Amino acid sequence: MPMANRTVDRALVLLGATAIVGPVLLVLVTAVYVGRPSPFLLIPAFILVALILWSDVRLVVRQRWIVAAFALVSQLGLGVFLGTFIGSPLAASAPLADSLPPASPPAGMAIYVLPTGVNHRTAAFAYRGGSPTERWESVLNAVLVRHPKGDLLIDAGLGKTIDSQLKRMPFTFRLATALAPGRTAAEQLEAAGYDLSRLRFILLTHAHWDHVSGAPDLAGIPVLVTAPERRFISEGGWLTVSARDIEPSRLREYAFEGGRYLGFEHSHDFYGDGSVVAVPAPGHTPGSVIVFVNLREKRYAFVGDLVWQRQALVERAERPWFVKRQLDLDPVALQGSLLRMNAVAMRFPEIQIVPSHDPRGYDGIPERPAR
Ligand SMILES: [Zn+2]
Ligand SMILES: [Zn+2]
């Protein structure tokens, strides 16, 4: 009989472990899957669900209520975690009353997108309410703005040293990231026969690695940042490893000495003609900005990582809890920036919103830079 009791105890330990630890493993598998969707992750997920349900039934049949109570707590925790992916729109702010700011873009001004790579993710990773079955090709682009007074590059995309930059990032981040680098911005400009002396500066929406990785390749070109973002570069840990590869003397600060712009309190006009205007949009990082580019025929808002998909801006949706926790430095400030930009999008649907990583945001922007 003691032998039989030991067998019974082992079975109970196994059931308890499955019903209690299984949900924790399922949380991890879910977190990796939404960030890096792979059919191979679905196999352990389905096995875990089946094992957890089977263990629950066995615990009830055996009337092991104490173990079952712990299992219930663990599985409720799983439910709460999954609930953080469900849509929960922020309350809208007051409608924007501002009129469209004047702009006098010069003839010949144009923009081009330089695609430097893709991250394979799901919409569930991008925003609350995004579907885990919807693939999101998170593009990593630089945008060239041609201007007679000198061109600028909005962000720099992935650079040629991205592999060594990635090695300095946490293992868990690399585990949930499936990066497919392409040609760098510097390589594309060279292949197009672009005269680099025309490139006046690189303007960062923010200093995260995926926006500045290619900046060191464009040696000597000044990199424009806000004061808070400059501090963040030195203090931002692994998220700004690429930015710390930029020669510090290349970093140039600019201030928001300009007045109110589309509901944002301050602004900076880079050419003095209203064609390229940045406004502070803190939250994702301390010195994140939105860059408005106003061509004669169309207006754009390059919103950086304020949101990852345009749908998130329309639906006033934050990133899911575990993503927000890791990547948004000040979620409360981010809510304010998001709601301000939502009001702009609602009042002026003709402005094309371009989140850095949303392929649909770049619709109609040509790829190949002209000479
Ligand atoms: Zn970012
Ligand atoms: Zn980004």
Ligand nearest to the backbone CA of 287: 1
Point out the ligand nearest to the CA of residue 211: 2
pLDDT of residue 1: 45
pLDDT given at position 194: 94
CA of 69 to the centre of ligand 1 (A): 41
- Kindly give the distance from the C-alpha atom of residue 96 to the centroid of ligand 2, in angstroms, as a whole number: 27
Question: How far away, in angstroms, is 139 Cα from ligand 1 center?
Answer: 12
Structure tokens at 136: 């999101």
Q: Which ligand is nearest to the CA of 213?
A: 2
* Residue 278: partners with Cβ closer than 8 Å, 6 or more residues away: 203, 254, 256, 267, 268, 270, 289, 290, 291, 292
Is the CB of residue 135 less than 8 Å from the CB of residue 120? Answer: yes
Global pTM?
Answer: 0.93
Separation of CA 305 and ligand 1 centre (Å): 5
Alpha helices, DSSP H only, in 192-330? 209-212, 227-235, 310-314, 321-327
The domain ranges of the chain are: 2-83, 110-362
The alpha carbon of 274 and the centre of ligand 1 are apart by a number of angstroms equal to 26
In angstroms, the CA 63 to CA 46 distance is: 26
Residues of the chain with pLDDT under 70: 1-8, 370-371
Answer yes or no: are the C-beta atoms of 27 and 81 closer than 8 Å.
yes
Report every protein residue that has its C-beta within 5 angstroms of ion ligand 1.
Answer: 208, 305
Ligand 2 centroid, distance to 21 Cα (angstroms): 33
Residues ≥6 apart with Cβ < 8 Å to 7 = none
| Closest ligand to residue 355's CA | 2
The overall longest dimension of the chain from CA atoms, in Å, is 93
CATH assignment of 110-362, among 1.10.3720.10, 3.40.630.40, 3.60.15.10, 3.40.190.10: 3.60.15.10
Q: Determine the distance separating the centroid of ligand 1 and the alpha carbon of 239, expressed in angstroms.
A: 8
pLDDT digits (tens, 9 = 90+) for 90-134: 999 999 999 999 999 999 899 999 999 999 999 999 999 999 999
Ligand closest to Cα of 119 equals 2
Between the CA of 223 and the centroid of ligand 1 the distance, in Å, is 17
Q: Which ligand sits nearest to residue 285's alpha carbon? A: 1
Cα of 141 vs centre of ligand 1, distance in Å, is 13
